[in-house]
Amino acid sequence: MAELRHDAHLPKTVSKRRAPRLPERPNRLGGALREARLDKGLELRDLAEITNIRPSHLEALETGHYGGLPEEVYSKNFVRLYAQAVGLDPARMLLLYAQERRSAAPAAREPVTGLELPPDDTSPFDHPWLRRLLRLLWTLLLVGGVVAGALWAFNGLLFQAGRPSTGAASTETVAPEVIQTAPAAPIADGPIGDEPVVEEPFVNASTPAVPGPLILLSLRTTPPGGEVSIDGYRVGRSPIVDAPVRAGRRTVRVERGGYRAFERAFDLSRDRRLNIELTPTQGPRAGAATGAQQPDARQNSTATEAQAAGTNQITVSVTAAAWLEVYRGTNRGGGERLVYETAQPGDTFTFDAPVYIFSGNAGGVSVAQGGAAAVLGAPGAVVGEAY
């Protein structure tokens, strides 16, 4: 019987060992919070829904087990939200919490075996694996941005290498060719674009051209309607506006019924606008003028020589203050320096071709060759041309 009585009390003894009673400690904060909650008729789960705080954290505040709470900043926020939800003064509750937390500090530092703090709901980025994933994503974004920027810069340099620095299209007016005479002067309206153009010797169309970037070519003829071809390939009928052409030196040919075919090589390394005046195939009929009215051979020779002399003479007129350099030859600094100064409005200079003219304000410099004057370039543009 005694043995049976001992077995009957055995479960109660085991239960007491598994749940030892701890000495109670006064907890004014927890008592006040719990009493206010009960006065409101709220359960812990109801208060958890109101404050978005875990029930375990609310219970820890009521029982004074502060070791089960997260960091200090979050615990204080829990106290403030709890007090507001049950109608207590948050400042007074925070003061009670600070006093009891300081008094419980030694006990909180003692290691607790088999107890693991629950994760904090208020900081979803506290998980180590999530922080590592975020760092990896930021690193990939940074590397991708650097690579994209490098590719953009490289492509910009690659495709703009063949473009002129000014980026402005130039216009050239081309006079008809005169057989066995000096080059004819430009037509009256002169160049229209920002930069005057210097004609170079004719280059055969069969000469292989180095491939380059595309430029835009506009061409008009007087009279209009001429068939335009470039390097033997038909482009269309004039006027032509912004036709894409491979950059390089190209041979332009214009044909129109009743007029001489025009053919000349141009430097098409940048956007160009060309004005071409075609020459009729038939001149005045022979014998239309009387013998007294027809000039003799000597007079024709004198006129041709005068025209050639006028074409070889270059006149530079300054209309706005501009830095001006003039050199003998066809490149900057290649020959004798003729002018090297800041020219003022009203200054005029006359030279014999060939000369190279460079200005820091092309819009304030006009160049006349053979009587037709043209502005060197756009105002403020830095332009150098050979004449």
Which pLDDT tens digit goes with each residue over 148-191? 999 988 887 776 654 544 444 555 555 554 443 344 434 334 43
Within a domain: residue 90?
Answer: yes
**pLDDT level of residue 105 (50, 70, 90 thresholds):** low
Please tell me the distance from the alpha carbon of residue 61 to that of residue 47, in angstroms, as a whole number.
13
Q: Is residue 346 part of a domain?
A: yes
pLDDT for 237:
87
Q: Are residues 177 and 264 in the same domain?
A: yes
pLDDT at 340 over 50: yes
**% of the chain beyond a pLDDT of 70:** 65
Q: Does 255 lie in the same domain as 208?
A: yes
The answer to whether residue 101 scores a pLDDT higher than 90 is no
Is residue 4, in this structure, part of any structural domain at all?
A: no
According to the model, what pLDDT value does residue 1 have? 39
pLDDT tier for residue 123 given thresholds of 50, 70 and 90: low
User: Which two tokens mark 158?
Assistant: 């690659």
- Please give the pLDDT value at position 211: 60
Q: What is the pLDDT of residues 76-91, one digit of tens each?
A: 999 999 999 899 999 9
Q: Are residues 193 and 269 in the same domain?
A: yes
26, pLDDT greater than 50: yes
pLDDT at 185: 39
Per residue in 285-337, pLDDT (tens digit) is 433 333 434 444 444 444 444 454 556 788 999 999 999 999 999 889 888 99
| pLDDT of the residue at 145 | 94
Q: Residue 15 domain-assigned?
A: no
The count of structural domains within the chain is: 4
- Which range among 101-105, 128-132, 383-387 shows the weakest confidence by mean pLDDT? 101-105
What was the pLDDT predicted at 2? 40
More confident residue, 258 or 108: 258
299-309 residues labelled b (16+ CB within 10 A) or e (exposed): eeeeeeeebee
Q: Same domain for 183 and 97?
A: no
Do 270 and 184 share a domain, yes or no?
A: yes
Q: Is the pLDDT of residue 11 over 90?
A: no
Residues 178 and 148 in one domain: no
Over residues 350-362, mean pLDDT:
91
Q: Are residues 47 and 68 in the same domain?
A: yes
Residue 369: pLDDT band with limits 50, 70, 90:
confident
Residue 177 inside a domain? The answer is yes
Instruction: Give the residue carrying structure tokens 């200005």.
Output: 359
Whether 324 and 364 map to the same domain: the answer is yes
Same domain flag for 228 and 156:
no
Give yes or no: residues 276 and 174 share one domain. yes
Alpha-carbon Rg for the chain in angstroms: 48
- Give residue 144's domain range: 127-161
Q: What is the CATH number of the domain that holds 81?
A: 1.10.260.40
Q: Are residues 242 and 196 in the same domain?
A: yes
Nearest Cα to Cα of residue 229 among 199, 264, 203, 253? 253
Give tens-digit pLDDT for 223-244: 898 899 999 888 888 889 988 9
| pLDDT at residue number 193 | 40
The predicted pLDDT at position 387 comes to 84
Task: Look at residue 117 and tell me if it is in a domain.
Answer: no
State the average pLDDT for the chain: 74
| Domain CATH number, residue 266 | 2.60.40
The string of pLDDT tens digits covering residues 180-235 is 334 443 433 443 344 444 444 444 444 444 466 899 999 989 989 889 999 988 88
175 lies in the same domain as 260: yes
